[in-house]
Amino acid sequence: MSITKKLRLGPLPKTEIVKLTFACPASLKVDLDRYAVVHAQVYGEAVDATTLIPHMLEAFMVADRGFRRGRGDDKQPSSRVAVPKG
Q: Is the dihedral of CA 24, 65, 38, 54 positive or negative?
A: negative
pLDDT score of 40: 94
pLDDT score of 38: 95
Torsion from C-alpha of 30, 35, 40, 41, nearest 10 degrees: 110
pLDDT score of 85: 45
Mean pLDDT by groups of 10 residues along the chain of 86 residues: 71 82 96 96 93 91 88 59 48
What DSSP state is assigned to residue 80?
A: S
Asked if residue 42 lies in contact with residue 5, where contact means CB atoms within 8 angstroms, the answer is yes
